[in-house]
Amino acid sequence: MWISCHAVTILFLSHFDVLFAEVFETHLRGPGFVMEPPGRVEFSNSSGGWLDCSASGSPQPTIDWVHADSTTVTEIHGVRRVLRNGTMVLLPFPAAAYHQDVHNTIYRCVASNSVGRVVSRDVQVRAVVAQAYKVDVEVLSASRGCTAILRCVVPTFVKELVRVVSWVHEPAIYIYPSLQGDGKFHLLPTGELLIHNLQETDESQSFRCRSMHRLTRQVVVSSPTRLRINSHRGIISPSIVEHTAHVQVSQDEGAVLLCVAQGCPSPEYSWYTHNGPGPLPVLSGPRIRLLGPILAIEAVTGEDSGVYKCTASNVGGEASAELRLSVATPIQVEIQPNVLSVHMGGTAEFRCLVTSNGSPVGMQNILWYKDGRQLPSSGRIEDTLIVARVSRENRGMYQCVVRRPEGDTFQATAELQLGECTIEVKNKTK
């Protein structure tokens, strides 16, 4: 007895998923990532860095690394190695061996076997050459009875990688950052030291700031700076001397917004959100703490994103600054179905589901890949990929890749198998 493929399809359409999964179960499996490298890797020239990548499948997939333009990553003696287990190693290097296209670039991991190929998300690699730097103390304001603001000045070329870890009140009192601020000293999370209620006894006390480089862990300490108190007794209207203009955090992390004003008497701070039709005062709550110049929000969600305003005021006047909080919500990408068997000449349909916290996310920039190569956008209806008149060349691994404006990529994989009609007929007639 002979039944055409077409007839079989119609016959079993209602049991599509179950039937095809049973009949076309084979020992071959396309590659899937077990360990996908992270989206960002930063390291110093002295430590070097490594990127792990592993995949499973049958036969066991091989791992390669490619550049953003899909060319293969090669070994460079003493600089870059690709280990047999898939790990890529960027070796420690002297400053002179820095190469933009090795040390500050995008890599992707590729897993392949006889079934097909899949590419990982983009890995943005950034190596930083350790450079000597100095930090200095700057005293922004120090009026009797008011609050002194001491700043640790870090050169701009390393500012982003260096943070203030503590201040030393000479000879040996260490002050650490805190979100509490009731004492005489308050080290803000951004590194400024506040000294409240300045008195004659504070005159000529010395302070040093200690900073640490995030990648090299190098600690740099300033020379001690004496506090000179300005005996000016009049009113100084507030001016904002520091604020966190744009704070970017991931969902569920804590966010600290900060706005420091100098002025005498010491300014009072108010915080507002601009997320509604008009400014609304920010109120303390279980997740929200207001502490003068600090607005701390715990376990942020996408709804906390937006524009905030801080206002510092005293009898002399007021000053304000705008701040923006961006909360990156994680997204999950999935292809349905993730294994699909279609007979020759049939139609395959994959759908890319993009969700965040369980809800669908619309308007994503979706790209489809087949065996590691981007497909032309023809045949793509929004989040659905349709492969018509399936032939042998269409077998393999499909991927849906979502690229966010910040540069992060997310991907999911699915396998398209070619069904054998004859097996199906035999099973049915038994």
Give the Cα separation of 265 and 241 in Å (integer): 16
Which CB atom, from 54 or from 384, has the smaller least distance to ligand NAG? 54
Span from 81-89, 171-179, 201-209, 289-297 in contact with ligand NAG (CB under 6 A): 81-89
Give the Cα separation of 140 and 147 in Å (integer): 10
- What are the start-end ranges of the H helices in 96-224? 100-103
Which CB atom, from 85 or from 378, has the smaller least distance to ligand NAG? 85
User: Which residues 6+ apart lie within 8 Å of 201 measured at CB?
Assistant: none
Q: Are 87 and 80 in contact (CB under 8 A)?
A: no
Residue 92 binds ligand NAG (CB under 6 A): yes
User: Hey, is 311 helix, strand or coil?
Assistant: strand
Both tokens assigned to 225: 């700076």
Residue 130 binds ligand NAG (CB under 6 A): yes
Residue 94 binds ligand NAG (CB under 6 A): yes
| Residue choice 19, 24, 30, 45 for contact with ligand NAG (CB under 6 A) | 45
CB of 35 to ligand NAG, least distance (A): 6
Which CB atom, from 56 or from 394, has the smaller least distance to ligand NAG? 56
Phi then psi dihedrals of residue 249, to 5 deg: -135, 165
Residue with tokens 């609050």: 147
| Residue choice 1, 10, 13, 95 for contact with ligand NAG (CB under 6 A) | 95
**DSSP symbols for 213-263:** ETTT--EEEPPPEE---B---S-EEEEEEEE-SEEEEETTS-EEEEEEEEE
Residue 87 binds ligand NAG (CB under 6 A): yes
Residue 363 binds ligand NAG (CB under 6 A): no
**DSSP symbols for 43-78:** EETTT-EEE--EEEEESPPEEEEEETTSPBPPPBTT
For strands 236-243 and 246-250, give the pairing.
unpaired
Q: Give the per-residue contact string, 217-246, with ligand NAG (x = CB under 6 A; - = no).
A: ------------------------------
**Size of site (CB under 6 A) for ligand NAG:** 15
| Residue choice 86, 177, 263, 267 for contact with ligand NAG (CB under 6 A) | 86
| Residue choice 18, 83, 245, 315 for contact with ligand NAG (CB under 6 A) | 83
Span from 10-18, 79-87, 102-110, 161-169 in contact with ligand NAG (CB under 6 A): 79-87
CB of 421 to ligand NAG, least distance (A): 40
Residue 54 binds ligand NAG (CB under 6 A): yes
User: Which residues 6+ apart lie within 8 Å of 230 measured at CB?
Assistant: 141, 142, 143, 144
310: Cα separation from own chain's centroid: 27
CB of 137 to ligand NAG, least distance (A): 25
| Helical (H) or strand (E) element with 417 | strand 409-419
- Residue 215: beta bridge partners? none
| Residue choice 35, 140, 165, 221 for contact with ligand NAG (CB under 6 A) | 35
CB of 89 to ligand NAG, least distance (A): 8
Query: Residues in the site for ligand NAG, rule: CB under 6 A?
Result: 35, 45-46, 52, 54, 83, 85-87, 92-95, 129-130
